Every structure is written in C-alpha cells, then in structure tokens.
Structure 1
Amino acid sequence: MVVESLANELLLYLFEFLDGIHLFRTFHNLNSRFNHLLFIHFRAYRFDFRSIFKYEFDIICQYYLPSIFDQIISLTISDDDETPNQSEIFLSYNFTLDKFIHLQSLTLYSIQSFNQLDQLIFQCSQLPVLTYLYMIDGYNIDRKNDIQFLINNIWSLPKLYYFYLNYHSSSKIWLNKISIISLSIEKLFIENITCTLQDLSHLFKYTPSLRYLNTTIHFNFEDEQIPIVTLSSITSLKLTFESSVPVMINLFQMLPNLYSLTLKTMDIYLSGNRWKKILMKYLTKLKIFQLRMYFEFSHYKNIDEQLNKLIDTYRNSFWIEKHQWFIQCDCIPFGTYYHGILYTLPYVFDTFVFYDILKSKYTCPYENHYWSYKRVNCLQYMIYNTNTINYLNSLTIQFPNIQHLKISISFDDKFWSYIPSLHRLTTLEVILGENYTQYQLQTLLNLSPYLYSLKFFYSIDLNMSLEQIMCPSIRCLNFITKFSSNITYFNTIECNTLAYSQLGCQCEVLVIKVENRTNILDLIKTINNLRSLIFQCKDDKWNHKDISSNNDELTKWLHMCLPSTYSIIRDKNDMSIIRIWINKNENNIFLL
C-alpha cells in the first residue's frame, strides 16, 4: 500500500508513533499535503534531541520549532557526550519554554550549567499541563543559593505530578530548602542525592500528596531524636538505606499506610525474627516486601554455622506460609572477612554484581522461576577464581534482559550459562589486563547485535587489538579510563590506527586522550561519521587549578582551526576535558 493513499486520520495516528526528528526527516517537503499535516493538523510532537547531529539540530531549531511550539507534548534536551552544550545552543535561539503551552513531559539530561538549568525550569512555571519532569545525570559543585531557587521553582510547577531527579551533587541541602508547598506531586524519584530523616520530614510537610517515594538515606546522629511526622498518603517506598536500625524504625513510624517496600541496606544485620517484629509492629499494612541486605559476618570462623543459623530465622510460617517472602543469602570472601548479601526472591533490583561466591543458602522451593533475574538490566561480572563457586552449578540462574554489562576479560566459561542472550545489550564496559584474550572480547561482540557503546578500562597496548575488533552496531567509543598506566594518551600512530579501523570508521561519539592537539584535527578529518569528540590533550596548557582563567589557549586554537559552526567548550566539571559537537556538512571547510 502506498503511504499517500492513506486517509489523513490514519496518517496522523501513525505520526504519533514517531519522534518529531524522524517525522521531518521522512515526510517534510514530500508534497504540500504532508507539509499541511505536519504544520497544521498534527498536535502531538515528541522531540528527543539525544544522539542528533548538530547540523540537523540547528535546522530543526531554526526552521521547524518556531512553527510548532504549541504542538509539542514531550521534549528532551541533553548535554551529554553525544550532544555537548546542546542546552546553551537551544537557549541561544531565544526559545522560552512558556511558549510550549501543551508540553506534558520535559527531560533534561546532563545539564552542566546550573544557570541554564535554572532558566529552563523557570520558563516552565506557567505551563498548564506539564506533569512529568526528569532531571537526569546532572552534576554541580555546591551552589546553595542556586539549588534553593531551582528546587522551589520545581515545587511551584502547578500541575507537576511526577518528578525524577538523578543528580550528582556535592550539596546535601536539596530537600531541606523547599519552602513551597506542592499539592500536585505524587511520585518522586531521587537518586545520587543522599538525604537524612530530617530532610524527609521536611519534604513530607511540603509535599502532602506524595504517594510514591524513591530515595537514599545516609546516617545522621540527629535523626534518632527528631519528632515523628507522619505522611499517610505514601503507600509505596523504594529506599537505599545506610543508617541505623533506630533511624529506620523512626522512618517506618512516619509511614503508617505503607503497602509496598523495596529496601536496600548497608551494614545492617537483622535476622528473620527481628525483621518480623519490626514489620508487624510498625508496618501493619505492608503486603509487598523486597529486600537486599548487605552485611559482614561477625567473624571468619564457622561460616557454615553462621549462615545456617541466619537462614533458619527466615523459615518460619510468617515468611514461608503467610507472605511467601522467600530469601537467599550469598556468602562472599573478602580477604580474611566474609560478607553476606541477603535478598528476597525473585530478585527485583535492576543491578547485580557477580562475585566469587563461597556458599549460598535459600528458603524458596527449587523452581526456575526464582532464579530468572528478569529485572536485572545492569550486570557486573567480577568472577576471577573459577574454583570457588559451588552453588551455581546446581541452580540455573539466568539474566535474560541485560542492557549494560561490565566484565573483565578474560572471564570464566560459566558466564555463558547465566546469559541466555545478549540481544538487549547496548552498553559494554571491558576491563583489559594481562590475561586479556581478544577471542573472548570478539565473541562477546559477535553475540551483541545491538551494542551501541563500548568503553575500555585497559592497562595494555590496544594498538593491535583495535585493528582486529569488529562490531557493526557500535557507534560510541570511550577510552578515558581510571586505570593509571603509561599507555594513557593516544599518539599519532595509535590515532591513525583507530581512525582507519572498522570501529573508527563507524564511530560517531569518541571519548579519548591524545598526545598532540593536531591529533584532534586528524581524527575529525578522518572519521567521517564523527559527530561528537570528547578529549583530554597532553599538550594542553590550561591552568586547571585556576578555573577563572581566561587564557584558554587550546580552545582558542581550535576555534581558529575548525569551522565556526562547531561547538567547542571545556567541561564545566572537569576542566581538563574539552567537548566538541561537530557540525559536518558540505559547507564546512577546515581552515588548517
């Protein structure tokens, strides 16, 4: 069937399944009918500006957005490594978000500038239907006044229902600076910002309609004496808890109607009998209890006895019959100590770290259902000693939905029995050391048809490997590692090897350290598909200790050598890193 033969109503319905970028790529200027549908009749644009080429972003901002402000319902702006400095460029077009009057969802990724973040949020203050706000992977140095202004602007959004905040911040004052009451916020996710019980008590006062909360609590001595402030509206809590049992009990007393609790604890050891008493006394309405408890065994002797004694406290009728809350406990050796990880089954958390496990005990029936870790999408495989694992041989543990994998190469052959498929894998981090075998890495790549990003942690010479590694789906390469090694900066020969390898030819996003600034120009010239380059340069003369310095000789040199359409800035959080958003098209001419 020819698309043009479809009725307008059906075409408009199909448009709803496509991002705005793809709509204009596909249908703009085909004929006057499609232009009329795009600019007049379609009312539900979703623009996700992650992973876009700069020249395409500029075209959309200059020629398309001004005509469809009131037709956009979802917008994503990102300053991550794929589209560095995008938020500043977006604002440079003199857009104000208050014109997006039908905007329902706003996502802000990796916004490095607090000033730009403030501007964007402030412009949302009068939006009548904005209900979802996501601030993801941002980072800032402690700026208390800015945080207070920002958080109160968010709490002032009139219709905000769902707020997701994943922000790497040195400040601990986010929640206790709220001074505006929000009657609309019902779901709140807070990650990478730790809070205290006092902060939560303050939050509850200013967010009285809150029903779902995801947060992290760290230890604070004053928490044990604070007055109890109850919030009966919260029915679901997802909590990472690094404090004391009295503080945890105080928190439970604040939440009398809690129905669902997902809890990760650090350095807390509670038997099944102790948990039973706490839950029955303070959380009488609890029906869903999902636990991961990390602790250290009291001493390194009699581990079997300690483990059996602990597991037996979870075998009574309260756990097995009344609630069917089954648990498993893994015993992990660390030097002369033994750590334990006790968790409910089926495993419900999205991350899992595979260690050399000495022993494991469980209370659930022997059914495959309990060892299919379907919720896990991020796996770290840290097993090196293949002789220490004994329980996994008898359990068919499976991780069928892995999207992010970190693994040391070489690894043991048992790995393959735990991973039925790598068809969902998009991000791979590999640790390459003395025992590295290219065969294992290539096998991983061959079985990962949708792998997008490959990051190297290495202490070996990669030159030969880069010529031989093949994976047609990879578009992002990251070579900036935390490993200290003489093989850190790519020299001219290594840059050329990378640029002419299969990985280099298809690379769109490159994160790398180079010896010489001319290597940057060579990489941009040679890698035709490159749209973003993040780098450190060994001959950079920038004074990293004086962030206020205006004598940025290297960026000035780059501005002289590269077209004016390129965005070239220093990373605001790591001044040794320069970020280039490349604008390659037929009109760009190198000046050098």
Structure 2
Amino acid sequence: MMIFESLPNELLLEFVEYFSFTDLLRSFYRLNHRFNNLIHIYIRTYTINFQSISKSDFDFISQRYLSSIADHVHSLRFSDDDDTPQEVHQFFSYGLSLRQFSYLKFLSIHRFNSFDYLTTVLEQLVELPELNHLKITRYDATYNAKYDIDMIKIIEHLPKVTSCYLDVSYDNENSYEVLSIISSSLSCLCFPKLNCDINQLIHLIKQLPNLSSLTISIVDQPTNLLISSIEFKSMRKLDLLFYGYADNLMKFLPAMPNLEEFKVDFHPFFIDGRQWEKLIENCLKKLVRFQFKTAFMVSREKSKQEEIDRILNSFRSQFWIDKHQWFVQCHWIPNDFSRTMLIYTLPYAFENFFFSGNVRMKSTAPPEYVHHRTFHSVNNLYYGRNLYENLPLPEFRLENIRHLDITIPYDQSFDSLVSSLDRLDSLKVDPYDYMNMDKVHANLHTLCQRSSQLRSLKLSTWFNQHDFLLKIVHPKIRQLYLQGSNIVYNADKCEKLASSGIGQQCEVLCIRVERRTDIVKLVNNMSKLRALVVKCIDTSSLENGDGNLVEWLREHLPDVCSISRTNEAHKDIRLWIR
C-alpha cells in the first residue's frame, strides 16, 4: 500500500478508471485525505450512472457515500426502467435530495415512473444553480397531462439550462399557454413526441431567442400560418417528424435563413427535387446538410416505374448532383398490390428500418458511390415475413443493428442484408410457421449464435408452448421478456425456467404467472435475478386484488426487496430484488 501511495496523482487517476464506481468507493474512499481528494477530482469528470445498477450497489452508494460526495458531482443519471424500478423513489426514501448536488451540471432520469415524487423533483430542479443539461424520459407511454404540463413549464425556471430533452406528448388544441416557455439560455431543445402544429411551434420558438437546435414532432392541420415576416435567425439545426401538409412546411422553413442542418421525416405527401431546390436556393442558402425520408402512395392510375423515374429525375439537376452531391434513393415493393414508395437521401440517416424481403431500389447516385449499400445509421431493424420465394438478394448491408424485431423462419435475404450481428443488444422474435418447429428453432439458435453481445431476448406467445427457451445457450443474455398476450407460466413452467441455464443467469425478467406463490419461487430460485416485472393472473383470493398482492408480497419476500405497481392501467408488479 505504501508503494501504491507513492505514485504521482496523475498515475493514480488513470488507475482508478479501471475500477467500478462502487469498488472505487469501497476500496479507497475515506482511507486518507489524499485518496479522498483524488476521488473528488475524478468524480467531477465522471458521470455517476445509476442506470442498470444492482439494488445492493445502489443502496450501498446512496446510504453510505452519496451525501459525502454530492458537492463534487457534476453529472448524474437515474433510471426507473425495468431493471431499476422506482429508483428515484428509493433515492428520496433514503432522505437524500437533489439540492445536495449544488454543482450538478447534467441530470438525466431515464423512464421516470416515480410519479409520487414528480412535484419534489421539479421543485428541487429549480434549486440546482449550475444545471445546464436536463434529460428526462418517462416509463409510461400513455398520456399524462399533469406530467407533460409540469415538465414543460419547469424549463423557464431553470435560468442556466442550455440543453433540454423531454419526451412530453402534450397534444391539446389549446396548448399555447403550455408552450409559452420563455428562456434566454436555452439553445438546444428536444421534444420528439410533442405533436404540436406549426402555429404552436412558431409560438414556442418566439419565446426562445437563442435557440439554435430543435428536435420536435409536428402533427399539422390546414390553417393560416402566423408566420408573416418573422425570422428565427439563431436556428442552425432542425430535426422534424412532420405529419401534415406540404404547403405549411414549405412556408415555415424560410423563417430560418441561417439553417445549416435540416433532417425531416415527413408524411403522407411528397415534395420533389425541383421544389426543394427552389426553396433551398432562395431561402436556405447556408444549408450544408439535408437529410429526408418520406413514404407516400402512388395513384393506381399511374405507372409505378414511370413515377419512380419522374421522381428521381427531379433530383438529378446540377444543384443535387454536382453542387451538393445530395443523392436520393427510391425503395418500393414490385407487385400490383403495394403502391407505397419510400424516398430518402443517401446515406440513409435514420435509426429505424423496415424490411420485408421483396424490395427494389433505384437511386441518383453514381456507380462508384458506396453509401447506398451501407446503412450505418440504422440501429433498429424490423424484419417482416416474406411471402415470396427466390427473390434477388438485397444490394445493401446493415452492420450496426442494436435491436432486431424479426419474424421467423426468415429467408436467405436476411443473411445477405445483415452482414453482422456483433453489436446486437436486444432481440424480439415472433414465429409465423407453427408447423415447422425445427426450422423456427434452428433460426432462433442461429440468431443467438451470431449475436455475441446479445443481452435481451423477447419471445412471443407461441414459444410458451414449447421448451425452446430452456434450450438456449448464450453467455451474455441477462434479460428475458415473456409477457406477451396469453403467455401464462404455471408453477411447473416457472420451476423449469428457474432451474434452466438461461434462468440461472437471468437478471431481469418480465413474465405473467398463474399464482402469487410462483412469484416468490422465482425470486428465491433464480439466484441472479435483480428485477422482476410480473403480472399475476389469480388474485381472486386476495381482497382488493392487485392492491393487496403488493402487501402480500411484502410479507413473503425479504425487506430489502422494493415492490411497486407500474400504474393503474397495466397493473404490473415491479420488484427490485438485489
């Protein structure tokens, strides 16, 4: 230890990076004054991340150390997700407060679900004098008016916040009062699910004179725009999900003459290359990055191939090909039933991609252009059932897939399309050929083998009828989602799951069980289970159903186990166990 202490501070700071935060505190904090100071220095550049933490580690840090180091914390991340349910609630229940983090600059709360502490969180946010980055997403996707209104209104009470991400979805027609946020500090705002119309958006931007980056969702109505001669000169970056009318979008964009980056996913209309060219040349002269995607229907009176050529030709002018080198690709299904076309700029710039096997593509890119063959931005692939055989293999590749939602058995197009699954984190599988169990099992086995980093597996109803899950061997899988419609695990199935290899390594389980005693057995028999989201079918013997189920579980499980209900609608019970 004396030799270790003789090392210079620079080497010690490099050394501590090899420790988990829990082990660092446990091993070195409060040993002596020098180590305390070094850890304080380290913490100022480190994000204390409570996302996916075990309950024992969270309890250990929160109850023994957090108050002592709070003054040195600049970045903090909480999560109420399924693997750390009610974490925010637990934080406050220990007598801790956000006020203690007086130098906090960055705060993130992932999938916030501790609504009993919503008012407390908002009140204490206002008392964080150095806070400049705030990100809060919520657990429950259903509309919650109080949450949305209170979240939006808190922004103007945070005078130093420059960047804010809130997944509010306030969609009331009379939302002008709610969107009257006044902030001179805010430069980056992300409301990806807000669903306001363009006039409400104009009203919002007027109150934010230094806003330079905006991500927002627009659901527009036919209306007279209140734009007149307004210019939002501070705006440099705009990311839109736009559902509405082309005219309104084209009238709104000239109000941002200094726009440099514009990304838009718009429906259900199409704007051709000539229209975009005219707008950009006349009104958006500083635009250097333009990315779009749109899906629209082609009239049955028109030839599909002729319409494709007409569309692509509108993007073949000198402006598109030579001046900016902005290339466009058309994506369609070549049959008489589908009239939908997908048009997007290259390289493809969006996270989600839907593929059904039978597709054709045509672009304005020259033969030597490679970005139409690799879709690096795609993280989420939805691979549907293919109804055709002997199709040409796709000419492009997906290499960065993190989430895969697939119907199996799949065809040979999948292996050609997805060149690597080395980065796959979560897999959702739904079979369609119930008569071909061997092929379904073989496909599932192959997917798991190819996915070396697979952490989360979600299986549909059909797999409950067979023992495929119990035969899966994969060293990295830690989360199982088995709560699809009509999936109910009885005592026998719960026992088999708990004793299986994948059950013994499972840390997060989402399941529907027959009886409340099955819950206790899962907790006791799955040695690594940290969190459980469960719905119990039989609550008939309990007075007041689910309400008393929580109390019953508290009586039959260790005191350290945190037990709560998701909400009134879903009635899932969430347990944070160890």
Q: Does 1:455 align with 2:458?
A: yes
Question: Per-residue CA shift, 1:494-543, capped at 9, x if unaligned?
Answer: 11121111111100000001111111111111100001010111113499
Alignment of 1:404-553 (within 5 A): 404-433=403-432, 434=434, 435=436, 437-481=440-484, 484-485=485-486, 488-541=487-540, 552-553=547-548
Does the CA-based 8 Å contact 2:202-2:226 persist in structure 1?
no
1:204 CA drift (Å)? 0.9
Distance 2:503 2:6 in 1: 43
- Letter of the structure 2 residue corresponding to residue 491 of structure 1: N
Equivalent residue number for residue 55 of structure 2: 54
Task: Name the stretch that deviates more: 123-132 or 59-68.
Answer: 123-132
- Letter of the structure 1 residue corresponding to residue 233 of structure 2: S
1:169 CA drift (Å)? 6.1
- Letter of the structure 2 residue corresponding to residue 556 of structure 1: E
Q: Does 1:36 align with 2:25?
A: no
Equivalent residue number for residue 382 of structure 1: 384
Distance 1:461 1:265 in 2: 39
Structure 2 CA distance for partners of 1:531 and 1:200, relative to 1, 3 Å: same
Does the CA-based 8 Å contact 2:401-2:424 persist in structure 1?
yes
- Letter of the structure 2 residue corresponding to residue 479 of structure 1: L
Q: TM-score, normalised by structure 1?
A: 0.89
Distance 1:9 1:47 in 2: 21
Does the CA-based 8 Å contact 2:356-2:384 persist in structure 1?
yes
| Secondary structure class of the residue paired with 2:216 | strand
1:358 CA drift (Å)? 4.0
Equivalent residue number for residue 203 of structure 2: 202
Structure 2 CA distance for partners of 1:71 and 1:140, relative to 1, 3 Å: same
The Cα RMSD (Å) is 2.8
- Letter of the structure 2 residue corresponding to residue 382 of structure 1: G
Structure 2 CA distance for partners of 1:140 and 1:384, relative to 1, 3 Å: closer
Does the CA-based 8 Å contact 2:264-2:293 persist in structure 1?
yes
Equivalent residue number for residue 401 of structure 1: 400
- Letter of the structure 2 residue corresponding to residue 12 of structure 1: L
Does the CA-based 8 Å contact 1:244-1:268 persist in structure 2?
yes
1:84 CA drift (Å)? 0.6
Alignment of 1:57-136 (within 5 A): 57-136=58-137
Does the CA-based 8 Å contact 2:129-2:160 persist in structure 1?
yes
Structure 2 CA distance for partners of 1:262 and 1:384, relative to 1, 3 Å: same
Distance 1:542 1:159 in 2: 54
1:465 CA drift (Å)? 0.6
- Letter of the structure 1 residue corresponding to residue 406 of structure 2: I
Equivalent residue number for residue 556 of structure 1: 551
| Secondary structure class of the residue paired with 1:512 | strand
| Secondary structure class of the residue paired with 1:249 | helix
Equivalent residue number for residue 273 of structure 1: 274
Question: Per-residue CA shift, 1:172-220, capped at 9, x if unaligned?
Answer: 7777514452111111112222121122112112211000111110022
| Secondary structure class of the residue paired with 2:89 | helix
Does the CA-based 8 Å contact 2:70-2:100 persist in structure 1?
yes
Distance 1:302 1:140 in 2: 41
| Secondary structure class of the residue paired with 1:182 | coil
Question: Per-residue CA shift, 1:319-352, capped at 9, x if unaligned?
Answer: 1122211111011368833100000111111221
Q: Does 1:20 align with 2:21?
A: yes
- Letter of the structure 1 residue corresponding to residue 462 of structure 2: S
Distance 2:208 2:243 in 1: 24
Equivalent residue number for residue 245 of structure 1: 246
| Secondary structure class of the residue paired with 1:459 | helix
1:98 CA drift (Å)? 2.0
Does the CA-based 8 Å contact 2:199-2:225 persist in structure 1?
no
Q: Does 1:302 align with 2:303?
A: yes
Does the CA-based 8 Å contact 1:12-1:37 persist in structure 2?
no
| Secondary structure class of the residue paired with 1:135 | strand
Structure 2 CA distance for partners of 1:205 and 1:100, relative to 1, 3 Å: same
Structure 2 CA distance for partners of 1:480 and 1:26, relative to 1, 3 Å: farther
**Paired positions, count:** 571
- Letter of the structure 2 residue corresponding to residue 23 of structure 1: L
- Letter of the structure 2 residue corresponding to residue 400 of structure 1: E
- Letter of the structure 2 residue corresponding to residue 419 of structure 1: V
Structure 2 CA distance for partners of 1:471 and 1:222, relative to 1, 3 Å: same
Distance 2:141 2:389 in 1: 45
Equivalent residue number for residue 368 of structure 1: 370
Indicate the percent of aligned positions where both proteins have the same amino acid: 33
1:6 CA drift (Å)? 3.1
| Secondary structure class of the residue paired with 1:158 | coil
| Secondary structure class of the residue paired with 1:471 | coil
Equivalent residue number for residue 574 of structure 1: 569
Structure 2 CA distance for partners of 1:25 and 1:471, relative to 1, 3 Å: farther
Structure 1: 5+ residue stretches without partners? 584-592
Does the CA-based 8 Å contact 1:118-1:150 persist in structure 2?
no
Distance 2:251 2:43 in 1: 49
1:13 CA drift (Å)? 4.6
1:260 CA drift (Å)? 1.3
- Letter of the structure 1 residue corresponding to residue 318 of structure 2: S
Equivalent residue number for residue 589 of structure 1: none
Question: Per-residue CA shift, 1:87-129, capped at 9, x if unaligned?
Answer: 1111112222122112111001111244423322321223232
Distance 2:187 2:18 in 1: 28
Task: Name the stretch that deviates more: 467-476 or 226-235.
Answer: 226-235
1:479 CA drift (Å)? 1.0
Structure 2 CA distance for partners of 1:480 and 1:9, relative to 1, 3 Å: same
| Secondary structure class of the residue paired with 1:55 | helix
| Secondary structure class of the residue paired with 1:192 | strand
1:12 CA drift (Å)? 2.7
1:166 CA drift (Å)? 2.5
Structure 2 CA distance for partners of 1:123 and 1:353, relative to 1, 3 Å: same
Structure 2 CA distance for partners of 1:494 and 1:19, relative to 1, 3 Å: same
1:18 CA drift (Å)? 6.2
- Letter of the structure 1 residue corresponding to residue 333 of structure 2: I
Distance 2:519 2:252 in 1: 53
Structure 2 CA distance for partners of 1:477 and 1:141, relative to 1, 3 Å: closer
1:141 CA drift (Å)? 5.6
Distance 1:570 1:168 in 2: 23
| Secondary structure class of the residue paired with 1:569 | strand
Q: Does 1:230 align with 2:231?
A: yes
Distance 2:140 2:463 in 1: 31
Equivalent residue number for residue 291 of structure 2: 290
1:171 CA drift (Å)? 6.0
Question: Per-residue CA shift, 1:33-84, capped at 9, x if unaligned?
Answer: 7753466654425211111121221121111011111011111111110011
Does the CA-based 8 Å contact 1:138-1:168 persist in structure 2?
no
Task: Name the stretch that deviates more: 103-112 or 140-149.
Answer: 140-149
- Letter of the structure 2 residue corresponding to residue 431 of structure 1: D
Structure 2 CA distance for partners of 1:40 and 1:419, relative to 1, 3 Å: closer
1:472 CA drift (Å)? 0.8
Distance 2:139 2:509 in 1: 20
| Secondary structure class of the residue paired with 2:129 | coil
- Letter of the structure 2 residue corresponding to residue 448 of structure 1: S
Structure 2 CA distance for partners of 1:58 and 1:455, relative to 1, 3 Å: same
Equivalent residue number for residue 186 of structure 1: 187
1:135 CA drift (Å)? 0.8
| Secondary structure class of the residue paired with 1:250 | helix
Q: TM-score, normalised by structure 2?
A: 0.91
